Chains A and B, each alone.
Chain A
Amino acid sequence: MTETVNNFQDWIKDQVHSKAESSFALSAELRKASLAVLNSARFPTRKDEEWRNTPLNELLTRTIGPASEAPVDLPLLEKLKQAIPNAQHLVFVNGVFDSKLSVDLATEIPAGLSVKQMSTLPSESLQRAEASINRSKLTDDNIFQHITRGLSNSGLFIELDQNIEIEQPLQILYLSSSNDSVSISHPLNIIHLGQNSRLKIVQQYASPAGVQAVTIPADTIQLDEGADLELYKIGLESESTDHISNTTVQIARSAVLKAHQYLLGSRLTRSNLEVIFDGPGGEAILRGIYLGDDSQHLDIRTYMDHANPQCRSDQHFRGIMNGQSRGVFNGMVLVRKHAQQTDAQQSNKNLLLSRDARVDTKPQLEIFADDVKCTHGATVGELDDDALFYLQSRGISQADAALMLTRAFSAEITEEIQLESLRDYIQNEITSRLDKIRVDHV
């Protein structure tokens, strides 16, 4: 690692040209293309349609320091693990897999499931892993995914054999720590579920208050025929963290993806989720909440590519914005020419709790097939006066009534979380944030 302290853009260039010995998650061949992109260092601006509402100036001018060596906040880690006590815990610290804090990959992983560090993969497995990456393609080919591909030095390759169903969830925890400078982490995971297999993965990103970090994860997920993946992403990072993630999921014939996202933390979050139906009969159910306060900026982008017939996608995202926070939803549903009998639903509802909060929403449809059922809807508004009055007339204070209604607004999404302990955990996290807002308002 170089000692120099640079802004983000220079840091990237520095890394590309760094001669330092280092191990990388991906093979030199695959990294090459990404490094070429990084060399140009062209970051999206407001003029790029996909980034219109998410300015990156603050991120790009952040001064980046060397990789953090500060100790991990162990009590926080324990608290996070309690969200799903019965899970297999996998821990990343500052973007690097920490085998001491994680379960033993060699002995504790159930049969049929394989979790391996990318850097230790034998070449034959690496080829399999990279095949998934080669098959995936982001429509928003942003530079951040190339940062992860080109520079990532750590990640996991998670493979599940066909016909294996695993009840015990995998919980992947990403913690950042920092002293006095901003550290960057860029974990890269590849997840491959074999035919008719079933897995649950919970990804939690967290850091103690005050930690300055930039997290740039990228996940490539491949679901073979009939596979079923439940995927949860929970963002709880500090107010001085920027988080830009890229996830692509390929869904083969009759495979099912249920992906939940709960973005509650960080200064800036951009979560990019792209789903492509590789075969007919697939299903993708996306749920999410973005809850912002102060000057948070939370941006969810989804891209649903109905490339095959008889697939079903159902998206429902809700935003709750307080303070001067800003929420962005940008969802695209593309129904290609031969994707007949597509059923695509998309809904985005937003609640503005303060004068200075702001929401930009863009639910888009591009349809090239005629025998389809596609609807989308978006709303932005404040709490319903009548509902507030109803509760007040029953002796509930206005503040409590507002809290109650806001919780109910979020509960419509969180109730769909299948893992009971995780559901309680997220509902508690949301409630504690809303309580704080309530105190602020009183």
Chain B
Amino acid sequence: MEKKDQILNPENNPKNTLSDEQQTIQSITDQEYKYGFVSEIEMEEFPIGLNENIVRMISAKKNEPEFMTEWRLKAYRHWLKMKEPKWPKLDYPEVDFDDLYYYAAPKNENAPKSLDEVDPELIRTFDKLGVPLEERELLAGVAVDAIIDSVSVATTFKDKLNDLGIIFCPMSEAIQDHPELVKKYLGTVVPYTDNFYATLNSAVFSDGSFVYIPPGVRCPMELSSYFRINAAKTGQFERTLIIADKGSYVSYLEGCTAPMRDENQLHAAIVELIAMDDAEIKYSTVQNWYAGNKEGVGGIYNFVTKRGLCAGTRSKISWTQVETGSAITWKYPSCVLKGDHSVGEFYSVALTNNFQQADTGSKMIHLGKDTRSLIISKGISAGKSNNAYRGLVKVNSKAENARNYSQCDSLLIGDQCGAHTYPFLEIENPSAQVEHEATTSKVSDDQIFYLNQRGISTEDAVGMIVSGYAREVFQQLPMEFAVEAQALMALSLEGSVG
């Protein structure tokens, strides 16, 4: 490699201990988190720790009806009996759940009625993140339900959606305005007993988005929410519920960035999707929370339960995720294919660098007849990170003619990282056709040399190769997201070739 460099860059001093590549690696690994800033908004916090009182306080704060308070308490009592799971291939110090704030909200209590009323500091925060609300409104036609820490701050395009009968609002508002819908669907896909983090979320969730698309309506714009963790030592517990009624369609985007903090922060969210007959939900995520510095200090712990229920016949749920952030990612977006002819899809790019650890994948549970599922997972490990795909394809004995294809590829950059694949295939019906394939590869010197030859710098070459590698997934993202995702990838990856 060094020889090639000399040919290409004759001015290179061969005795220079740092080759071009190594320098690029250094420059990238030295890169600080671009979105690391703290917005100075006055925060309101509850006392530290968790007990029944805190749960009641959260519920009371949000002025919730009795059934919600009871539901939260049931979850909390169940949570006390649960143990944090140890099976993922993740290594992190135990989280002290008594040393967290369970509620934080911007103190500005008067809910803003328009963008002008939104705290200007908040708007600037979004600007720095590259999510200018006004711009989105004007250019992209995206309705943004922006969430800072726990309370939805601004909701745009509400009126337009209202005309179509679409409900798109913060979860706390939905509990007030549409308790019948919330009561009917909340916890039906992810019950409060589901798993340690989901149960915790059920007890203390603060806010999130609620979407209801009425029968036959095709949501005219991409719905979007930007999650952000802001206050230090604050656990973030959103809960999102999306219901697509018969024959409807919705595409939902979720993007996450968080500012730099030295202490690890906990995030335990839940997303529930329900698709009725002929309905389709497309859920896209770009997650770029703070991943810790290059020594592995700090960073978000991300324990998320995402599950979609294809309840109706011919319903479809499609998950797309680009995961580049978080110190720890534990996340398995799943589809329960209950309706006959229903379809589940999962497209994922998970990138880990430095000391990041990701244990992610998907579950496809085939219950109905003629159900189909597709899993495309692209893992990229660099630095000293560990990246695991863990997936389950289960075909129930009554699920006739189920089809699944899974492809899990890993790309290793450098010899200090790890890439792992743990697929589980559990097949109880002979008419099923299930295939799983996985490959492992690296960005080879030859590939880079080929591009160098054509005058492309090593940094750009790596970006190109990785973009090409993850293309299948990027293609699934809505345009404006795809651009952002590509930029994020380039930011986290360029030059980290070994």
Contacts and interface: CB of A to CB of B under 8 A. Distances in A.
Contact of A360 (B410, B414, B426): B426
B435 interface: yes
- Most chain B CB atoms below 10 A, which of A377, A379, A380: A380
A252 B108 CA distance: 70
B397 A352 contact: no
A337 B413 CA distance: 13
Interface in B418-436: 418-436
Contacts of A381: 430, 432-434
A362 B428 CA distance: 15
Interface residues of B, number: 36
A340 B412 CA distance: 12
Interface stretch (A65-73, A133-141, A159-167, A368-376): A368-376
Nearest to A350: B427
Contact of B435 (A365, A373, A377): A377
Given A364-B420, A380-B434, A371 B425 contact: no
A375 B423 contact: no
Contacts, number: 113
Given A365-B421, A369-B415, A375 B429 contact: no
Contact of A340 (B87, B397, B415, B418): B415
Nearest to A368: B418
A372 B440 contact: yes
A61 B430 CA distance: 31
Nearest to A360: B426
B412 A378 contact: no
A409 to B, nearest CB: 14
B424 A360 contact: yes
Contact of B421 (A352, A368, A376, A379): A376
Contacts of B438: 363, 365, 374-377
Contacts of B434: 378-381
B498 interface: yes
A312 B430 CA distance: 34
Contacts of B397: 355-356, 358
A71 to B, nearest CB: 42
A361 interface: yes
B62 interface: no
A367 B410 contact: yes
A49 B420 contact: no
A363 B424 CA distance: 8
A370 B413 contact: yes
Given A356-B397, A378-B435, A381-B433, A363 B415 contact: no
A371 B420 CA distance: 15
Given A367-B410, A381-B432, A375 B437 contact: yes
Given A353-B430, A360-B424, A367 B435 contact: no
B439 interface: yes
A359 B427 contact: yes
A380 B432 contact: yes
A198 to B, nearest CB: 33
Contacts of A356: 397
Contact of A355 (B395, B410, B429, B442): B429
A352 B435 contact: no
Contact of B498 (A353, A364, A370): A370
A367 B432 contact: no
A357 interface: yes
B427 A374 contact: no
A364 B422 contact: yes
Contacts of B419: 365, 367
Nearest to B444: A371
A98 to B, nearest CB: 42
Contact of B423 (A350, A363, A371, A382): A363
A45 to B, nearest CB: 15
B54 to A, nearest CB: 32
A356 B442 CA distance: 42
Question: Main secondary structure on chain B at its contact with chain A?
Answer: strand
A365 B89 CA distance: 12
Contacts of B418: 366-368
Interface in B42-75: none
A192 B167 CA distance: 72
B417 interface: yes
Given A350-B427, A370-B498, A371-B415, A364 B421 contact: yes
Nearest to A366: B420
A354 interface: yes
A358 B425 contact: no
Contacts of A379: 433-436
B410 A378 contact: no
Contact of A380 (B410, B416, B420, B427): B427
Contacts of A340: 415
A405 to B, nearest CB: 14
Nearest to B393: A380
B423 A354 contact: no
B371 to A, nearest CB: 15
B420 A365 contact: yes
A363 to B, nearest CB: 6
Given A376-B421, A381-B433, A367 B440 contact: yes
A173 to B, nearest CB: 35
Contacts of A364: 420-423
A364 B410 CA distance: 13
B436 A370 contact: no
Interface string B358-397: 0000000000000000000000000000000000000101
B420 A377 contact: no
Contacts of A354: 430
A340 to B, nearest CB: 7
A366 B381 CA distance: 12
Contacts of A49: 87
B420 A367 contact: yes
Contacts of B412: 367, 369-370, 372
B427 A370 contact: no
Given A364-B422, A370-B414, A378-B425, A352 B440 contact: no
Contacts of B439: 374-375
Nearest to B386: A368
Contacts of A359: 425-427
Nearest to A375: B439
Contacts of A53: 426
A195 to B, nearest CB: 31
A380 to B, nearest CB: 4
Contacts of A370: 412-415, 417, 442, 498
B430 A352 contact: yes
Interface in A320-362: 337, 340, 350, 352-362
Interface in A167-213: none
Given A355-B430, A366-B420, A380 B425 contact: yes
Contacts of A375: 437-440
Taking each of B89, B414, B427, B438, which has the highest tally of chain A beta carbons within 10 Å of its own beta carbon?
B427
15 contacts: A358-B426, A358-B427, A360-B425, A362-B425, A363-B436, A365-B410, A365-B421, A367-B420, A367-B440, A368-B417, A374-B438, A374-B440, A376-B436, A381-B432, A382-B431
Given A372-B440, A376-B438, A379-B435, 18 more contacts: A355-B397, A355-B429, A355-B430, A356-B397, A358-B427, A362-B424, A363-B436, A364-B423, A365-B420, A365-B440, A374-B438, A376-B421, A376-B437, A377-B435, A378-B423, A379-B436, A380-B434, A381-B434
Interface of B: 87, 89, 395, 397, 410, 412-440, 442, 498
Q: Which 6 A-B pairs have the closest CB atoms?
A: A352-B430, A370-B412, A374-B440, A365-B421, A380-B427, A381-B433
